[in-house]
Amino acid sequence: MELFLIFLAATLVNNFVLTYFLGICPFLNVSDRLDSSFSLGMATTFVMTMTAAVSWLINNFLLIPYNFHYLEYVSFILVIASLVQLVEMFIHKVSPPLYEALGIFLPLITTNCAILGMALFASMRDYTFIETLVYGFGAGVGFTLAISIMAGIRERLQLADVPWPFRGAPITLLIAGILALAFMGFAGLLAV
C-alpha cells in the first residue's frame, strides 16, 4: 500500500513535468508526434528506474559511509550519463528508425532534469531501496503520461488556426498551463 501511494504521488499528484517543472525541454520540443513522444517517455522511464537503483546504491554504500556527501551531484550525473549512453547504443542496435526519430534528444536525456531531480528527491527523502525504485518508475510513468497527452493535443492542434505570434512554443506552454490546472485536481487525492 505504501509503495502504491509513492507510485501514485510521483505519477499524478506531484507529476514531475506539470508540478515540479522537471523535464520541460523534451516536453516542449519532442511532443509533436504521439509515437515518438511515447518512445521517448519509455526510454526516459527506463533510464529513471535504473538511475534510481544505481544512485541509491552509490549514495548508501559509498557517499554516506565515507562522508563524500559533496560528491552527490557529480556522481549522480555520471551514473545518468553512462546509462543514457547504454540506452542509446541499445536503441541504435534494435530500432534504427526510432534512433533517427529521437535524434539529438536521445543524448539530451542526460540533461533531462527530471532524472537528476528524481535521484536528488529520493536521496533527500531517505527512501529504502524498493521505495526508490518505485519512485523512479512512477516518475518516469508520470513523465510519459504528460508528454503523451501533450503530443496527442498537439497532433490535433496542427489543424487549428493559432494566431501567428503564438505558434510553436507559446501555444504549447499555454496548453501546458491548462494541463497543470487540470492536474491540480489530483492534489487532494492523497496527502504527501
Partner 1 sequence: MRRQYWRDFAKGIWEQNPVFKQLLGMCPVLAVTNTALNGLSMGLATAFVLISSSIIVSIIKGFIPRQVRIPSYIVIIATFVTVADLVLAALFPEISRALGAYVPLIVVNCLILSRQESFASDHPTHRAFLDALGMSAGFTFALLVLSSVREILGVGELFGFPVTMGLFRDWGVMILPAGAFLSLGVLIGLANYTTHKLGWES
Q: Is 120 in the site for partner 1 (CB under 8 A)?
A: yes
* Per CB under 8 A, 91 contacts partner 1: no
Answer yes or no whether residue 153 interacts with partner 1 by CB under 8 A: no
Longest dimension (CA), the chain: 59
Q: Is residue 126 a contact residue for partner 1 (CB under 8 A)?
A: no
- The SS3 of residue 189 is coil
- Helix, coil or strand: residue 54: helix
Q: Which of 112, 134, 150, 151 binds partner 1 (CB under 8 A)?
A: 112
Residue type at position 65: P
Cell of 119: 535521484
Q: Choose the binding region for partner 1 from 78-86, 89-97, 134-142, 145-153 (rule: CB under 8 A).
A: 78-86
Q: 559509498: which residue's cell?
A: 62
| Residue 2 CB partners (closer than 8 Å, separation 6+) | 131
Residues that bind partner 1 (CB under 8 A): 18-25, 28-29, 70, 72-74, 77-78, 81-82, 107-108, 110-113, 115-117, 120-121, 124, 163-166, 169-174, 176-178, 180-181, 184
